[in-house]
Structure 1
Amino acid sequence: MHDDFDCRANEFWNDFYTIHENRFFKDRHWLFTEFPELAPKCGLNQESHPEGSGKDGGLLGGLDQEQSRDAAALLHTDGDFPGSSATYRILEVGCGVGNTVFPILKTNNDAGLFVYCCDFSSTAVELVKSNPEYDPERCFAFVHDMSDEEASHPVPDGTLDVIVLIFVLSALHPDKMQASISRLARLLKPGGVMLLRDYGRYDMAQLRFKKGRCLSDNFYVRGDGTRVYFFTQDELHEMFAEAGLEKVQNLVDRRLQVNRGKQLTMYRVWIQCKYRKPLVQPPEAQG
């Protein structure tokens, strides 16, 4: 049973995005309130990439908008990998159809920004690439299975400022979560951060699952074959700590949502985390 869902996971997610395309999820403009690291001129840029943040306002700070666009085109086409000359790099894992990526690109006009985004579903990645707002000079979308430790990434280790995981870790089999987080942590620069928002234990969605949908403790399969896990704060902290990251934030966001049209009251439980890679790595991590 478990093996079947693992082997066919990409099929289930491809079917999901084929049916819903870009209509299911709304753009996540709340991200910039919860995670200011994704907003323009955020402080992390100066901390994790000091060489790109001089008194002139950054590498391209003195240029007007048109010049900045031209410079950005040159900035991101040289080097050994996409965005290799960028001053600030963000990766979103589990990007879906771009409901996080496109708000980031629209909100942040810094020419030094480059955004990478990946998804297990090739259908989702094609929808991102076909979006009129997709700009290969500022963004690189690719198909990737984060649970595959041997899968390659388009960037070398130690090159990312921010990694974003929004309702994606919960879709993995629990046995694969730790290795996935540890592998992603290697991509971060010293001082870089991993940002997560995901389902918390006893969220309304968990309580509404019917008998027969539970695969293992707190791990369920939906009617369409996609899976979801419901976390505690301690579980997530242990995962990030094991990956060598330090806690900046780990909180529970409890909200009461009222759908007046359907006369439903929904008790939502989400967990939000922010963990940083230490500026000085322990000797075993440096090897």
Structure 2
Amino acid sequence: MVEMPETQPEVPGPVDTSVSRLERGDTPFTFGQRNLVDEEQVWNHNAWDNVEWGEEQITEAEEKLVKQREAPVKPFDKKLFMSDPAKYWNQFYRNNRENFFKDRKWLRVEFPSLYEATRHDAGKRVILEVGCGAGNTMFPVLEANENPDLMITGVDFSNQAVKLVKESKSFDPKHAHAAVWDLAEPSGALPEGIEEHSVDIVVMIFVFSALAPDQWEQAVRNLKKLLKPDGEILFRDYGRYDLTQLRFKGGRLLDDNFYIRGDGTRVYFFTEEELEQIFGKEFEVAKIAADRRLLVNRLRKLKMYRIWMQARFVNRLE
């Protein structure tokens, strides 16, 4: 794994699609090793890693976004969806409480510091999972924990999600805590039980995308207030032109690259440059990259392109 410099991070510019990702040196994370070298072999596996996009694919994706802009969410519905987002997340967790838990095994490879904190000799470590949902990160970390001084807190916008976590058989009050908290809390109030500059690691997996763009600045300020000097944010979320974005039909677009799903929850699709601008104001961008994957339906001969953004931000001293 090749990491970007820890001191003066390179500011990403336009991606040169005429050369491969490896030739560009765009390998700050480990995104899998099954690379498609021969196009004729595309149907041999269900998934391929590090897949490059050509100009033709980008043009096709932009054409789909143009059609979405022609039929945005109606003003009345937009006001309804934006006024009480917690309502829809609570409904989501009530409806899916038995269906969605998955152990994120890839975290051990992509974000090793998360599991280094569980070592028996790691010393006092505080982990905060923002947007904990049903505990998809919290519980695997607790299961692996050998550190007597580890504390992991899960916070979520949804009180139903927090309830699920607390009721789980895997919830260990000795090393775990859970609370309702809004990442973009306007007052700057921190989660229950968390003091200023006390957190070593913040984990945000498919969380930031649920915020409206006008909430980003406040959310970053809140994260700055949480983290210790040299504390880090481990980030993964949706990328621009992901299959999920391109599949949205008319009446789902709230704003540019910001949508309302069928269940009423919101989602934004990021670029590397946007994340650099959003987090770079307060944090050092230690790593940032796009995870581009090709999923294949070999029976129906369908190709499905997924794009996720992954990053590591560090709270350096001023």
Fold shared per TM-score above 0.5? yes
Aligned-partner Cα distance in 1 for 2:160–2:299: 32
Give unmatched runs, 5+ long, in structure 2: 1-76
Aligned-partner Cα distance in 2 for 1:136–1:93: 18
* Change beyond 3 A, Cα 1:132–1:262: farther
Percent of pairs identical after alignment? 45
Higher RCO (CA-CA < 8 Å; seq separation 6+) = 2
Instruction: Find out whether 1:140 has 2:216 as its counterpart.
Output: no
Aligned residue runs from structure 1 range 54-203, under 5 A: 57=121, 87-150=124-187, 151-153=189-191, 154-203=193-242
* Change beyond 3 A, Cα 1:226–1:263: farther
Q: Could you tell me which amino acid in structure 2 is paired with residue 213 of structure 1?
A: R
Which residue does 2:16 correspond to in 1? none
Offset, 1:7: 2.4
Any conservation in 2 of the 1:40–1:107 contact (CA below 8 Å)?
no
Q: 1:23 aligns with which of 90, 96, 99?
A: 99
Aligned-partner Cα distance in 2 for 1:25–1:257: 21
1:59-94 Cα shifts (integer Å, max 9, x gaps): 5xxxxxxxxxxxxxxxxxxxxxxxxxxx10000100
Instruction: Find out whether 1:226 has 2:302 as its counterpart.
Output: no
Aligned-partner Cα distance in 2 for 1:160–1:262: 48
Does the residue aligned with 2:304 lie in a helix, a strand or coil? strand
Give unmatched runs, 5+ long, in structure 1: 46-52, 60-86, 283-287
Q: 2:274 aligns with which of 217, 235, 249?
A: 235
Aligned-partner Cα distance in 2 for 1:11–1:248: 35
* Change beyond 3 A, Cα 1:58–1:176: closer
Q: Could you tell me which amino acid in structure 2 is paired with residue 266 of structure 1?
A: M
Offset, 1:137: 0.9
Aligned-partner Cα distance in 2 for 1:20–1:88: 32
Any conservation in 2 of the 1:247–1:274 contact (CA below 8 Å)?
yes
Which residue does 1:257 correspond to in 2? 295
Aligned-partner Cα distance in 2 for 1:16–1:152: 25
Does the residue aligned with 1:103 lie in a helix, a strand or coil? helix
Offset, 1:58: 5.2
Does the residue aligned with 1:175 lie in a helix, a strand or coil? helix
Aligned-partner Cα distance in 2 for 1:119–1:261: 39
Offset, 1:176: 0.3
Offset, 1:184: 1.0
Any conservation in 1 of the 2:295–2:304 contact (CA below 8 Å)?
yes
1:229-262 Cα shifts (integer Å, max 9, x gaps): 00011111111111x2101100010001224577
Count of aligned pairs? 240
Q: Could you tell me which amino acid in structure 2 is paired with residue 109 of structure 1?
A: E
Instruction: Find out whether 1:268 has 2:310 as its counterpart.
Output: no
Please provide the CA RMSD for this pair. Answer: 1.9
Q: Could you tell me which amino acid in structure 1 is paired with residue 91 of structure 2?
A: D
Aligned-partner Cα distance in 2 for 1:124–1:262: 37
Any conservation in 2 of the 1:181–1:240 contact (CA below 8 Å)?
yes
Offset, 1:212: 1.4
Any conservation in 1 of the 2:117–2:150 contact (CA below 8 Å)?
no
TM (normalized to structure 2)?
A: 0.72
Does the residue aligned with 2:218 lie in a helix, a strand or coil? helix
Aligned-partner Cα distance in 1 for 2:221–2:246: 30
Any conservation in 2 of the 1:182–1:240 contact (CA below 8 Å)?
no
Aligned residue runs from structure 1 range 38-53, under 5 A: 38-40=114-116
Does the residue aligned with 2:310 lie in a helix, a strand or coil? strand
Which residue does 1:248 correspond to in 2? 286
